[in-house]
Structure 1
């Protein structure tokens, strides 16, 4: 019972969604319908972000070059360096494909929708998160295959213009449309801010359910034994903890404010399942893809769970700081 008192309702909901996907995953013709629903929720999320942000905030977010530079370093330098060291160390006698899978995981770009959703939920710099996460995803389409070839000694395909177009259509276009409609709906958005905030949580839950459903349908529980599964979970937790701690320390040492720190933590610690799975199908032999992407599938679930709890913690800190500021002004 103490565990349920420690975990907040949203984290408990995430656990329930994972269990639901384990026993009742989306299958067959429902996959298409569910993908459409998830894409619609994500498009609505970005539309609302565009409507909420002023032109000044967007310009400030896009020009925040120090923040974006560190997020890129975290994604494409810090993560790959940790992956190379871990694959070289190989402390536990498990399948070599699992070590290669972790290295592949570290090479991938950041997520977009979940990074921005968590940044918004935690009270971070959403404008900077939109710019940083989108740039990471777009850059990763071209850079990740090059890193795979360099670090894993494989000849991979280059980035796909179709993937670039998908990112632009699904994420950036709704954001731009939302911002352009701001003059007509800004007051309505401000009035219903509490309910609109639920779109962040809804999109995260849909992404978790869809991603874990796909993992279950692909036989995630049958591809490795219990020992290997525990190994993947443990390494994923350690890897994520190291990156979050480094990002937090760097953000504070470089003098970023709390909102920018939140953005750096959530945009610099994510890895994209959406980019990773299609890319693996191109880069690796079909027989090796299942095990190769298993660390990515599990890490993806763990990063969502951990970041959900972390976002709630940041949210409580922000609310407390605001309450203290109001109390001081009232004196």
Structure 2
């Protein structure tokens, strides 16, 4: 099974942070650059998301509501249930809190579209579902983190989000929400440029995320938190994440069937509702956890690669089972928060269970 090249870059960045962590003035510069990169990422997210596409997609509200429920209700409930692995010795408390955080982040966009397309599902619905999830996550993820991870990190080695203090609110608003809104407001003037140069800006996206990872893991090395992670605990984390992914894949597929969705919509729900966004989760963790972010994002990084490999196999199997010509496959399954389709392809027929456009 091929490994996503971007995961190799992420791992290389982690290795660089382990060997040459940013310290002193270098750490201050890296932190400032990371903060600017996060703001720029969310500005691009806002500039890419077409308000018209979002409003058109609302016509398929049952599908989008199901995906949002899977992402922000079912996933967190399973994350809370995984707390039982801590007293059993399978997970440490910091790794568990990182696992719980991954269940709170929004769904992917690009990889959901790619797998839905490969499996011959409802591609326009996948575009809208991923966009809605990313938009909702800007508010839902910090709120859920404050409610479920609150209590403050620090002395006990936990990752707590520190409660929903005024400082937390200010950071989230300034680094995430304000740039996103600015992107939406300026989309009329910059949206066409962003879409026309999305490949180049995609590299900027990924480079920014690598900077966030380097800063977070450098802080972790300086704080000495990596002594908390043993190979046995990493193996336990991978096993728990495999169970989590399998549970969500089964729940989204058979749950959508119980809700009377057609095959194409079930495919969209399965891929959009069972996956988590590395691109959105990393910047959010950096804002919410600070120096503890390296442990917070480790479960998300591992889950990201696992979901890509497993969903690639499922999508190919669904494609073989389908009848008729496939949709054009999205260009890459690596995580990019991009909405590549023109507005005309984003329309979905409410409750039809078929592809449109």
Does 2:245 align with 1:244? yes
Distance in 2 between residues matched to 1:199 and 1:234, nearest whole Å: 33
How many residue pairs get aligned? The number is 288
Does 2:175 align with 1:170? yes
After TM superposition, give the deviation of residue 314 of structure 1 in Å: 6.2
Higher helix share: 1
Distance in 2 between residues matched to 1:312 and 1:42, nearest whole Å: 27
Among candidates 120, 137, 140, match of residue 141 of structure 2: 137
Distance in 1 between residues matched to 2:198 and 2:28, nearest whole Å: 31
Give the conservation status (yes or no) of the 8 Å contact 1:41–1:203.
yes
Deviations 1:100-144 (Å, cap 9, x if unpaired)?
4445445547565xx57x544554644223233223333235412
- If the length of structure 2 is used for normalisation, what is the TM-score? 0.65
- If the length of structure 1 is used for normalisation, what is the TM-score? 0.70
User: Counterpart in 2 of 1:300?
Assistant: 297
Alignment of 1:35-54 (within 5 A): 35-54=31-50
**Structure 1: stretches of 5+ with no match in the other structure:** 92-97, 149-155, 282-292
Distance in 1 between residues matched to 2:17 and 2:67, nearest whole Å: 36
SS of 1:159's partner is coil
Distance in 1 between residues matched to 2:223 and 2:26, nearest whole Å: 16
**Structure 2: stretches of 5+ with no match in the other structure:** 114-125, 153-160, 257-264, 320-324, 330-357
User: Counterpart in 2 of 1:24?
Assistant: 20
Distance in 1 between residues matched to 2:312 and 2:199, nearest whole Å: 14
- Compute the RMSD of aligned alpha carbons: 4.0
Distance in 2 between residues matched to 1:260 and 1:134, nearest whole Å: 21
Among candidates 211, 214, 219, match of residue 216 of structure 2: 211
User: Counterpart in 2 of 1:56?
Assistant: 52
Distance in 2 between residues matched to 1:24 and 1:139, nearest whole Å: 34
Give the conservation status (yes or no) of the 8 Å contact 1:51–1:186.
yes
Distance in 2 between residues matched to 1:163 and 1:78, nearest whole Å: 26
User: Counterpart in 1 of 2:186?
Assistant: 181
Does 2:65 align with 1:73? no
User: Counterpart in 2 of 1:286?
Assistant: none
Distance in 2 between residues matched to 1:309 and 1:103, nearest whole Å: 17
After TM superposition, give the deviation of residue 185 of structure 1 in Å: 1.8
Distance in 1 between residues matched to 2:35 and 2:274, nearest whole Å: 25
Give the conservation status (yes or no) of the 8 Å contact 1:121–1:312.
no
